[in-house]
Amino acid sequence: MVQVSSFLEPLDYAIVIGYLLILLAFGYYISFIKNKKTDENIFLAGNTLGWTSIGLNMWGTNVGPSMLIASASVGFTSGIVAGNFAWYAFIFILLLAVVFAPRYLGAKVLTLPEFMGKRFGDSTRNILAWYTLITVLISWLSLTLFAGGILVKQLLGMPMYLSVILMVVLSAFFAAAGGLKAIAYTNVFQMLLLIAVSLLLVVMGVNRAGGLDAIYSQTPGSYWNLLLPADDKNYPWIAILLGYPIMGVWFWCTDQSMVQSVLGAKSLKEGQLGANFIGWLKILDVPLFILPGVICFVLFPSLKNPDEAYLTMVTQLFPIGLRGLIIVVLIAALISTIGSALNSLSTVFTMDIYVKKYRPQATQAEIKKTGRLVVLFGSLLSIFITLAIDSIKGLNLFDVFQSVLGFIAPPMSVVFLFGVLWNKTTTKAANIVLTLGTAISLGTGILYLWVFPNGTYNWPHFLLLSFYIFVALALVAFFISLTDENGQADHQTLLRIDAKAKPDKQVKLLWLALCVVMVALYIIFNNH
């Protein structure tokens, strides 16, 4: 592997060091000077977000360095077929807007576990707290740490275990020095910078390759199809059609990190318009994040590791100085995500489990001590999970991300769909799906990825496995609810959508326009 550092000049290193020092200084100012005499309010956005803020916040949560690296990787190997994970999402964002958001906002909740607590009781809310710990630990912390480890490994040529340990230590260092707050304050700027860089990368890459026609002529026709044959080993259309919806419902309708912006909307209409806005923004994922990988395939076809596609484009096309700036922004954003995930892990365990269930009389000193211990334990555990993810063979970075998420999604998708759409779903059904279903789903994932790895053994596609697990858990929820002697209290007040809250004409027209555009894109990008 060619080290990216061999392409960096003294000016690049100076920019890297300068940028990090500025972040640290800004963080110190925010943490120890500006906020010294003020109490920080962690709910700054409470029901004040307009549609533009909602859309940008959701897209910013979804877009990150790990997505840039993974998307370019799959673009290099398979073309735009991975665009399904961005463009197919509009259906489930629409589901959030018209089915879930009216009920969430009508219930006046701050978190989704709180909503499910109102629906099924405290037992379900407690289980969801543990489920949240698992999803944060795997999907937000370990996968990001894995992408960060790959980035550091490419930059410095380190083994993965040293890269991962370095990322954890850097995250802890930034948090201790106030740097994490600095990065949090500059996250919007960094997101916009990453998007601008990707756009510049595409423009420079297209020009270097001789134009879009030249790129099209030098790539296989399948690179420009969203739907591939049913016998395609990587992305058969049937797997995407049936399997992605399970992940889509979980990610766009039930994941707290994604839905939080809609929960903070000024009104339901603003929330629905904000969801529509991110539907339009997701169209940009293909040209901004996947296309660089396709261009890399044309310009550097001998590249042996597709996961290096994005940084190869950066180092080969960008001038001195800009390389260092982009690399440090990637690292800073990764550190921010890792630090935020550690903080979320600590907060959920300390407040929703330790204080609420085991020690309600805990002092602030005890709470802080517990939080620090959780951060330490979570860091160590995430290192082992990340190294386990690194041992997965036969999948590129993008597929690793999607397969892991595919095995997390089914239990939550079942519980939220049944809980919101069927009033007779019982607490017993929800709790069994969340506990036993999670064990089955994650257990299947462990067998698929590590014990009897796909490739060595003949498994169905991971998206089809996600679909099969969903169907099985849905049947479990249905029959348990029918046979549960305790029944379930009537929740029509909680689950009914007020007639006044139904989408107005503007919302309907914008969603209709988006649906037309998405159908057109699926027609255009097929049969090549």
Q: What is residue 74's predicted lDDT score, i.e. its pLDDT?
A: 93
Give the closest residue to 320 by CA, choosing from 17, 13, 69.
13
Question: What CA–CA distance (Å, rounded) separates 226 from 90?
Answer: 15
4-30+45-525 under CATH 2.30.40.10, yes or no: no
User: How crowded is residue 244: how many other Cβ atoms within 10 Å of its Cβ?
Assistant: 23
At residue 100, does pLDDT exceed 90?
A: yes
Is the whole model's pTM more than 0.75, yes or no? yes
The mean per-residue pLDDT over the stretch 179-208 comes to 74
Rounded Cα distance, 81 and 240, in Å: 10
Please give the pLDDT value at position 179: 45
How would residue 163 be classed by pLDDT, with cut points 50, 70 and 90?
confident
Rounded to 10°, the helix 256-263/112-120 angle is 90
> Residue 387 and residue 160: Cα distance in Å, rounded?
7
- Tell me the per-residue pLDDT of 262-307, one tens digit each, with 9 for 90 and over: 888 888 899 999 999 999 999 999 999 999 999 999 999 999 888 8
Average pLDDT over residues 63-69: 79
Torsions phi, psi for 265 (to 5 deg): -70, 150
Residue with tokens 């980035």: 151
Check residue 186 and give its pLDDT: 58
Q: What distances in angstroms separate CA 428 from CA 211, 275, 424, 513, one per listed residue?
A: 59, 32, 11, 41
Q: Exposed, middle or buried by CB within 10 Å (0-12, 13-18, 19+), for 5?
A: middle
Q: Residue 29 has which token pair?
A: 């100012």
pLDDT over 70 at 194, yes or no: yes
> Cα-atom radius of gyration of the chain, to the nearest Å?
23
Backbone angles phi, psi at 49, to 5 degrees: -80, 135
On the question of pLDDT at 44 being above 50, the answer is no
**Close Cβ partners of 331 (under 8 Å, ≥ 6 residues apart):** 65, 148, 151, 152, 170
Nearest to residue 264, comparing CAs of 458, 50, 453? 50
Report which of 299, 295, 5 is spatially closest to residue 154, judged by C-alpha positions.
5
Above 70 in pLDDT, residue 28? no
Residue 182 reports pLDDT greater than 80: no
CB-based contact 399:459 (threshold 8 Å): no
User: CA-CA distances (angstroms) from residue 247 to 83, 85, 413?
Assistant: 15, 9, 8
- The pLDDT assigned to 512 comes to 96
Extents of the domains making up the chain: 4-30+45-525
Q: How many CB atoms lie within 10 A of CB 303?
A: 17
Mean pLDDT, rounded, for 162-190: 64
Closest CA to 82 of 340, 270, 294, 273: 294
Span 482-502, mean pLDDT?
79
